[in-house]
């Protein structure tokens, strides 16, 4: 299934990156990259494992410091941001971790309540209940509210992880390998959910993946990370309309292998 193109506001980048560099010891992971994420857009950062995709979103969310470059997130210069401003900014950014990052000792309800209670001082029990029920309905898992994470399938855990992120109504979503370790049918369901979140919550999203089916189904725009830089950017068809020996085998493995 091909992604239905949405109308992103290209006059309004919610994330802007210029000259970003990051090395670990002598290995340069990111070598001076430029990137904009526009309001209402699903942007896929595509690349092989170990190319720095996850490093990029950890830098965007303030979990890692860059070696050089400028990053602006929702109007904040990440180099100059205070600790208090960073805490407030993270509430506006949803981070969907690869392993879902659920608390195994808490029910689904308690997992979803946790970020609300921590970040929304003075919120009432009725407001909490409504918020929990709303996001569970959004991800199609209302029936799991009293279950433990250990009772859920991998796809259900991924959905609950996304629901826990949505409960704070983030403006930006960062998805780290959302389909990793899932069977093909569940991957399609997660891809559909990412698109539903974009439409229902009007989010701007960066989707980190090496899964071309995920990229094709969710991305309004694709940015392909090769050798520490974005070598090709555009629609899925534009990115893969090439004989580049670094790109073509990647496509062939995913769709022909």
3-state secondary structure 38-61: EECCEEEEECCCCCCHHHHHHHHC
Res 257: pLDDT: 43
End-to-end CA distance of the chain: 19
Res 5: pLDDT: 62
**For residues 256 and 176, what is the distance between their CA atoms, to the nearest angstrom?**
25
Res 167: pLDDT: 95
Does residue 109 contact residue 132 with C-beta atoms inside 8 Å?
Answer: yes
**For residues 237 and 35, what is the distance between their CA atoms, to the nearest angstrom?**
19
Res 162: pLDDT: 94
Res 140: pLDDT: 94
- Going residue by residue through the chain (257 aa), what tens digit of pLDDT does each one get? 556 666 677 788 999 999 999 999 999 999 999 999 999 999 999 988 778 898 999 999 888 999 999 999 999 999 899 999 999 999 999 998 877 789 999 999 999 999 999 999 899 999 999 999 999 999 999 999 999 999 999 999 999 999 999 999 999 999 999 999 899 999 999 999 999 999 999 999 999 998 999 999 999 999 999 889 998 999 999 999 988 888 877 777 665 44
CA distances 187 to 82, 198, 224, Å, are 38, 17, 21
CB atoms within 10 A of CB 25: 5
Does residue 91 contact residue 152 with C-beta atoms inside 8 Å?
Answer: no
Q: What are the phi and psi torsion angles at 27 (to 5°)?
A: -100, 115
Does residue 172 contact residue 3 with C-beta atoms inside 8 Å?
Answer: no
Does residue 42 contact residue 202 with C-beta atoms inside 8 Å?
Answer: no
Q: What are the phi and psi torsion angles at 234 (to 5°)?
A: 160, -160
**For residues 192 and 242, what is the distance between their CA atoms, to the nearest angstrom?**
28
The C-alpha torsion from 135 through 137 and 138 to 140, rounded to 10°, is 120
The tokens of 175 are what?
């998805």
Q: What are the phi and psi torsion angles at 117 (to 5°)?
A: -65, -35
Res 227: pLDDT: 87
CA distances 56 to 59, 75, 107, 131, Å, are 5, 18, 32, 30
78-83: which pairs have CB atoms within 8 A and are 24 or more residues apart? none
Does residue 94 contact residue 170 with C-beta atoms inside 8 Å?
Answer: yes
Tell me the sheet residues that pair with 72: 16, 77
């Amino acid at each position: 299934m091909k992604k239905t193109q949405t109308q992103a506001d290209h006059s309004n980048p919610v994330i802007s990156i210029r000259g970003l560099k990051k090395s670990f010891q002598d290995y340069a992971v990111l070598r001076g990259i430029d990137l904009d994420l526009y309001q209402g857009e699903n942007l896929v950062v595509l690349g092989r494992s170990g190319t720095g995709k996850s490093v990029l979103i950890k830098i965007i969310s303030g979990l890692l410091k860059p070696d050089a470059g400028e990053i602006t997130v929702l109007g904040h210069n990440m180099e100059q941001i205070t600790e208090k401003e960073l805490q407030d900014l993270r509430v506006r950014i949803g981070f969907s971790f690869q392993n879902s990052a659920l608390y195994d000792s808490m029910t689904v309800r308690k997992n979803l309540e946790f970020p609300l209670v921590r970040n929304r001082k003075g919120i009432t029990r009725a407001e909490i209940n409504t918020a929990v029920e709303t996001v569970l309905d959004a991800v199609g898992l209302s029936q799991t509210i009293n279950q433990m994470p250990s009772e859920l399938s991998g796809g259900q855990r991924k959905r609950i992880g996304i629901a826990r992120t949505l409960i704070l109504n983030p403006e930006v979503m960062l998805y780290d390998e959302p389909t990793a370790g899932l069977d093909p049918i569940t991957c399609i369901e997660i891809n559909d959910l990412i698109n539903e979140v974009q439409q229902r919550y009007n989010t701007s999203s960066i989707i980190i993946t090496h899964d071309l089916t995920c990229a094709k189904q969710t991305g309004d725009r694709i940015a392909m990370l090769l050798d520490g830089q974005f070598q090709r950017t555009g629609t899925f068809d534009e990115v893969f309309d090439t004989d580049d020996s670094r790109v073509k085998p990647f496509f062939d493995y995913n769709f022909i292998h």
